[in-house]
Amino acid sequence: MSHLVAPSLLSANFLQLEAEIGMVNRSEADWLHLDIMDGVFVPNITFGFAILEKIRSISTKPMDVHLMITDPDRYIERFRKAGADVISVHQEACIHLHKTIHAIRNSGAKAAVALNPHTPVILLKDIIADLDMVLLMSVNPGFGGQQFIGHTYAKARELKKLITDAGSRALIQVDGGVTLENARALIDSGIDILVAGNTVFGSSNPEQTIHQLKNC
């Protein structure tokens, strides 16, 4: 499978949101990545169900929803109803991760687990066969524009081995500090999906940048 690209709307110009989503629709992007933050699990607040529903009404790309929130179990059905095609929950936020993952799958969405930079991949050993995706945070979650954490390459290779050994079909996504300069190395280390925020939306030609990320 060729790698996927998921522009992160967190870095878009929110005063021109419809135009920014239209650009993603026209581009070679595969998914639209949406970060949901509650100001508790991470020190930032983004957007909720009403805005997600509006985005869904104009986005032609699958919506990849990353929940950086406490107690995500309370909201899985609502995020699915608002348009989420993929739902990522943080391992660090879930007391009963197996139950949460199956609630996501039962909702009809693809189920994913996100790991903070300090969280070892081995903690997913007993759940990896049930996952559609693992999201590796390559920055500390909460804000865009942070510096990429170099240990992510080794972590991706370790995760790829865990997936292979378990016979899992889970894809590996990376989010944080993804650039045109490190994209190829990330893919070579086992990454299947590149989330790119500032690299795309800060570009003078974002559609061309997405094309470059797809063809790196």
The answer to whether 102 and 131 have CB atoms below 8 angstroms apart is: no
- 201 closest CA partner among 21, 3, 2: 21
DSSP strand E in 91-211: where?
110-115, 133-137, 171-175, 193-196
Is the Cβ–Cβ distance between 202 and 166 less than 8 Å? no
**35 is known as an active-site residue:** yes
Q: How far apart are CA 140 and CA 129, in angstroms?
A: 26
Q: What gap in Å lies between CA 110 and CA 65, rounded to an integer?
A: 10
Q: Is 175 a catalytic residue?
A: yes
**Of residues 35, 38, 132, 192, which has the active-site annotation?**
35
Which one of the listed residues 38, 64, 132, 175 is annotated catalytic?
175
Q: In which order are the strands placed within the sheet that holds 193-196?
A: 4-7, 193-196, 171-175, 133-137, 110-115, 86-90, 63-68, 32-37
Where in the sequence numbering do the catalytic residues fall?
Answer: 35, 175
